[in-house]
């Protein structure tokens, strides 16, 4: 299998490189290939949908016909998968040749350029240098040749920081085993820092464990988002038939599945520039979930004789409203836990099963209101005279 067709995160290495080129503003995409494979046709469609022109070339001399002296050329080595954000920042001051320490880069497969440095697989060159490819044999490797031409022309070298290379953010994938290893580090990097509460930590773990399989299957975040919607609708149906505790219990896996879908959607957006589908977007689902949790609480709270429906709705609506308002008004890590609907759903389910939900909902609302006032006053520095 050609190196460019190896997959990381469900997308070929060529697709990752195309996303970077489009993010950098490239208007024409030239792909060095010997034959028009189905993967290249898919790549061409992606480029054209983004408004870029796609060219398949067989050698460096064909490349020189596409580039004028006034153009800038972004070159990516075969198999390179850099972090798009890091790469765009490093090539901001063009023209430039990105380099790595030879001691660690050469064993990883990067091309040595002198005693101390190796090419990092990414460079931005002025178009005037491309004409020099015509002086080389037709079978010369264009990328390697342009690296030497750029060095001879005195193009500025820029060292890729160690903080980038040491965290799976700058990879050269050479075979299937390396692709699997790169994928694990890639998923770990994209889920790092997303486990600040119990529910979020579980969602991040589930993403690392099952995300690659979903991405390779092509469903990505869509399958998890559909599962989340199914859980929450079944929970609403259970509440309609009077099983409020079951409904609240189902809201926990619904939130967990959707949180995992959100993480996968952000991974796809960061790496490939794809827009998350509506079902995988955070805000619409969480509003729906809060409305259904409030409705389930109305069913769960025992009705008092002669009590109108609006009175039974008041406490659940206040509780869910405060869970939305208070995190934005206070400071501190504990505020993050108020957005963890898995914990909230399980807590309310347990209180319902324990026949305590009637007093627990107004009590929780009062506690939340008091905590919000106390910590928001402290946060803005209000003190008594």
pLDDT digits (tens, 9 = 90+) for 225-279: 999 999 999 999 999 999 999 999 999 999 999 999 988 888 877 777 676 666 7
For residue 292, pLDDT over 70 is answered with yes
**What CA–CA distances, in Å, run from 118 to 99, 109, 143, 159, 377?**
6, 9, 14, 10, 56
Q: For residues 76 and 34, what is the distance between their CA atoms, to the nearest angstrom?
A: 17
For residue 349, pLDDT over 80 is answered with yes
More confident residue, 272 or 337: 337
Fold of the CATH domain 3-178: Spore Coat Polysaccharide Biosynthesis Protein SpsA; Chain A (3.90.550)
For residue 385, pLDDT over 70 is answered with no
Scanning 153-281, the segments in alpha helix (DSSP H) are 162-165, 176-191, 198-217, 221-240, 244-272
pLDDT value of position 275:
66
Mean pLDDT of the chain: 86
Q: Which residues pair with 97 in a beta bridge?
A: 123, 157
Q: For residues 104 and 112, what is the distance between their CA atoms, to the nearest angstrom?
A: 11
pLDDT value of position 245:
96
Buried b (16+ CB within 10 A) or exposed e, 343-377: bbbbebbebbeeeebbebbeebbeebeebbeebee
pLDDT value of position 202:
92
Domain 193-379 CATH (choose: 3.30.70, 3.40.50, 1.10.3470, 1.20.120): 1.20.120
Could you tell me the pTM of the whole model?
Answer: 0.80
Rounded to an integer, the average pLDDT of 281-307 is: 89
pLDDT value of position 384:
43
For residue 159, pLDDT over 70 is answered with yes
Rounded to an integer, the average pLDDT of 341-367 is: 93
User: 80-106, pLDDT tens digit by residue?
Assistant: 988 888 899 999 887 999 999 999 899
Q: For residues 232 and 255, what is the distance between their CA atoms, to the nearest angstrom?
A: 8
pLDDT value of position 183:
79
Could you state, in order of their start, the residue ranges of all structural domains in the chain? 3-178, 193-379
pLDDT value of position 1:
53
380 confidence band (pLDDT: 50, 70, 90):
very low
Rounded to an integer, the average pLDDT of 141-152 is: 91
User: 160-216, pLDDT tens digit by residue?
Assistant: 998 888 777 888 888 888 888 777 777 887 787 777 788 989 998 888 888 888 887
């Amino acid at each position: 299998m050609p190196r460019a067709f190896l997959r990381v995160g469900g997308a070929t290495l060529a697709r990752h490189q195309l996303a970077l080129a489009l993010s950098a503003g490239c208007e024409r995409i030239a792909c060095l290939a010997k034959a028009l494979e189905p993967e290249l046709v898919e790549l061409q469609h992606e480029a054209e949908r983004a408004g870029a022109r796609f060219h398949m070339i067989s050698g460096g001399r064909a490349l020189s016909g596409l580039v004028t002296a006034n153009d800038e050329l972004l070159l990516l080595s075969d198999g390179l998968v850099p972090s798009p954000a890091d790469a765009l920042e490093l090539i901001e001051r063009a023209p430039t040749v990105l380099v790595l320490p030879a001691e660690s880069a050469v064993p990883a497969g990067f091309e040595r350029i002198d005693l101390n440095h190796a090419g990092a697989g990414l460079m931005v060159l002025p178009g005037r240098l491309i004409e020099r490819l015509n002086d080389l044999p037709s079978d010369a490797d264009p990328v390697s040749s342009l690296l030497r031409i750029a060095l001879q022309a005195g193009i500025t070298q820029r060292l890729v920081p160690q903080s980038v290379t040491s965290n799976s953010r700058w990879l050269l994938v050479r075979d299937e085993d390396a692709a699997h290893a790169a994928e694990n580090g890639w998923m770990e990097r994209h889920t790092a820092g997303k486990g600040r509460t119990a529910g979020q930590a579980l969602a991040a773990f589930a993403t690392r464990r099952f995300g690659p399989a979903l991405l390779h299957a092509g469903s990505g975040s869509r399958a998890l988002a559909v599962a989340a919607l199914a859980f929450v609708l079944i929970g609403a149906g259970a509440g309609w038939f009077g099983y409020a505790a079951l409904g609240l219990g189902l809201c926990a896996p619904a939130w967990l599945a959707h949180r995992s879908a959100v993480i996968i959607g952000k991974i796809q957006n960061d790496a490939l520039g794809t827009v998350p589908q509506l079902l995988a977007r955070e805000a619409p689902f969480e509003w729906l979930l809060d409305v259904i949790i409030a409705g389930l609480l109305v069913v769960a709270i025992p009705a008092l004789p002669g009590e109108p429906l609006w009175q039974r709705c008041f406490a659940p609506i206040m509780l869910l409203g405060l869970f939305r308002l208070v995190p934005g008004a206070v400071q501190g890590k504990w505020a993050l836990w108020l957005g963890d609907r898995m914990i909230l759903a399980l807590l309310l389910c347990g209180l319902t099963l324990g026949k305590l939900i009637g007093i627990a909902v107004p009590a929780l609302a009062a506690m939340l209101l008091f905590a919000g006032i106390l910590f928001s006053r402290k946060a803005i520095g209000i003190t008594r005279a």
